[in-house]
Amino acid sequence: MKLNHMALTVSDRARSAGFYGTWFGLTKAVHEDDHLLILSNSNGDYLALSEGKVPPHPPRTTHFGFQADNVDAVYEIRKKFADAGVEEAEWQEQGTIRVQVFDPDGYRVDVYAFDF
């Protein structure tokens, strides 16, 4: 099985669409109406954004992730996040190389690759 989509309630759909488009290639709007924007990328990932009141920030264990092609890609995007001022939540260099950042509404998003 493959995870097909993720749905988030966000405070500003355009801002979140920009974030996920810039960093994760989710730029193709496959559906848009007054309540929902669904974005996709070339990997077949889908992200549904509904504008509304964002729930209180969940615990650090609640997050979702994108698997990078290799470890070097994780180091590269970590630097790009830092250069762009994207707030880093966590960094891991053991077994799984992983950077976790906060999106504009405080959701945690991983970019990772296995180092084995």
- Domains of the chain plus CATH, in order, are 1-52 (3.30.720.120), 63-116 (3.10.180.10)
Interval 56-78 mean pLDDT: 90
State how far the Cα of 116 lies from the Cα of 114, in Å rounded to an integer: 6
Global pTM reads 0.90
Please write the tens of the pLDDT for every residue from 23-52. 999 999 999 999 999 999 998 899 999 999
Interval 50-55 mean pLDDT: 91
At residue 87, does pLDDT exceed 90? yes
- Bridge partners (DSSP) listed for residue 5: 46
* 4 contacts 93 by C-beta, under 8 angstroms: no
- Bridge partners (DSSP) listed for residue 114: 96
State how far the Cα of 73 lies from the Cα of 112, in Å rounded to an integer: 9
